[in-house]
Amino acid sequence: MIGSSVTIKNLNKWFDDFQVLKDINLKIKKGEFFSLLGPSGCGKTTLLRIIAGLESADSGDVLFDSESVLSMPPNRRPANTIFQNYALFPHLNVFENIAFSMRLKKMDENEIMEKVEKLLFLVKLEEHAYKKPNQLSGGQKQRVAIARALANEPKVLLLDEPVSALDAKLRQELLIELDNLHDQVGITFIYVTHDQAEALSISDHVAVMNEGRVVQYGTPYEIYESPADKFVATFIGETNLMKSKVEEVNNEFIKVTTPGIGEFVCYKDKEVNENAHILITLRPEKIKISKKPLKGENVFHGVIEEEIYMGYQTKYFVKLDEGYILKVYKQHINYLLDETILTWKDEIFVSWDPNDSYIVEVE
């Protein structure tokens, strides 16, 4: 199978007086795994439905390989959609669910048999070919839906929150299978999700949406490490947000003062002037924490107000001497009992590299 590139140009959509999509522009490369990520109501599913042909656009265009598809009905577009509720035929077994579209096209029976067997092998359901959907687990049903969609040999596979109905462990397993499947079939995947961990773990590129707009586009690394604004910083993972005033500007760094923290040095990723009021983001896992005094810049003293042990890491909420509550995540690289265990009410020191704190807003 060969994928298509997908280009969204100046796309707008209204429902009555409410504008759901606001001037969306995106370029999705041929054969990539692309995610539309955002909270409920941000417009991501509406955008997916317009790409599929299940909704109309009020203005703008959607192109597959430079050819506009807006005038094409859904059944003529080289795309198939996987829905959250699987949409399987309950009276047909797995084999017949996958073969359904091929039978509609009146394909040769031997060809149908060969193709379905290949798809069953691809989604690892050979042993379940003659079971009905009600005899399958949620993950197995989703794999049937994927195989049925691939039976049409689409150039673009559209996935609308396909694993949200599954439990956490099964979600992770199916995501890995989806990623492997994408590598095998080579077509373009456009994946809609509200779960930032899902999008970051499987995507080549991500478009973060909020209130009908694309607020940031980039690789998972770029989205997480360099959030474009306050919304992205808080929606993608967890962070410390610090309202600060610029005291001194140098070539690469700025010195700021922050209520509840004091003075520290931050990376200058945006142009700012002295006395400007800014918002800084600092990821909790970037911060060092120790009972012993730490060396370097941005070192502060505080007390652990709360600790949450999670096995692979512990989350600390540290009250600094000036009053700010700082979130600090410590990864447990070694056997925990071989480390100095930090606990509630311990006096500690925290520090972070200036390169790890970024400006997300300038007033």
Q: Is the pLDDT of residue 335 over 80?
A: no
Whether 242 contacts 282, CB under 8 Å: yes
Q: Is the pLDDT of residue 23 over 90?
A: yes
User: Distances in Å between the alpha carbon of 69 and those of 14, 48, 129, 281?
Assistant: 19, 13, 35, 41
Q: Is the pLDDT of residue 338 over 90?
A: no
**Paired tokens of 189:** 């995947």
Beta bridge partners, 298, equal none
Q: What is the pLDDT of residues 38-77, one digit of tens each?
A: 999 999 999 999 999 999 999 999 999 999 999 999 989 9
CATH 3.40.50.300 residue ranges in the chain? 6-234
Assign 3-class secondary structure to 300-328. EEEEEEEEEECCCEEEEEEEECCCCEEEE
The whole-number pLDDT of residue 152 equals 86
Q: What is the pLDDT of residues 76-91, one digit of tens each?
A: 999 999 887 778 899 9
Percentage of the residues of the chain whose pLDDT score is greater than 70:
98
Helical ranges in the chain per DSSP H: 44-52, 94-104, 109-122, 138-150, 168-185, 196-202, 220-225, 230-235
User: Distances in Å between the alpha carbon of 185 and those of 23, 81, 99, 145, 277?
Assistant: 32, 16, 18, 15, 50
Mean pLDDT of 276-284: 97
Whether 80 contacts 154, CB under 8 Å: yes
Percentage of the residues of the chain whose pLDDT score is greater than 90:
79
Query: What is the chain's mean pLDDT, rounded?
Result: 93
Three-state SS at 148: helix
**Paired tokens of 194:** 């509200």
The whole-number pLDDT of residue 174 equals 82
CATH 3.40.718.10 fits 6-234, yes or no: no
Sequence-separated (6 or more) residues with CB below 8 Å from residue 340:
290, 291
**Paired tokens of 350:** 């925290």
Q: Is the pLDDT of residue 336 over 70?
A: no
CATH 2.40.50.140 residue ranges in the chain? 238-362
Beta bridge partners, 306, equal 317
The whole-number pLDDT of residue 87 equals 81
Mean pLDDT of 134-163: 90
- In the block, residue with structure tokens 């360099």: 226
The whole-number pLDDT of residue 159 equals 93
Mean pLDDT of 302-306: 97
Mean pLDDT of 326-339: 80
Q: Is the pLDDT of residue 13 over 90?
A: yes
Highest mean pLDDT among 133-142, 172-181, 184-193: 184-193
Kindly report the pTM of this predicted structure: 0.90
Q: Is the pLDDT of residue 207 over 70?
A: yes
Could you tell me which of 64, 75, 66, 73 has the C-alpha nearest to residue 3? Answer: 64
Taking the C-alpha atoms of residue 54 and residue 47, their distance in angstroms, rounded to an integer, is 10
User: DSSP code of 117?
Assistant: H
Q: What is the pLDDT of residues 90-122, one digit of tens each?
A: 999 999 999 998 998 889 999 999 999 999 998
Mean pLDDT of 17-30: 97
The whole-number pLDDT of residue 1 equals 65
Please state which of the four CATH numbers 2.40.50.140, 3.30.1330.10, 2.40.128.720, 3.30.70.330 is assigned to the domain occupying 238-362: 2.40.50.140
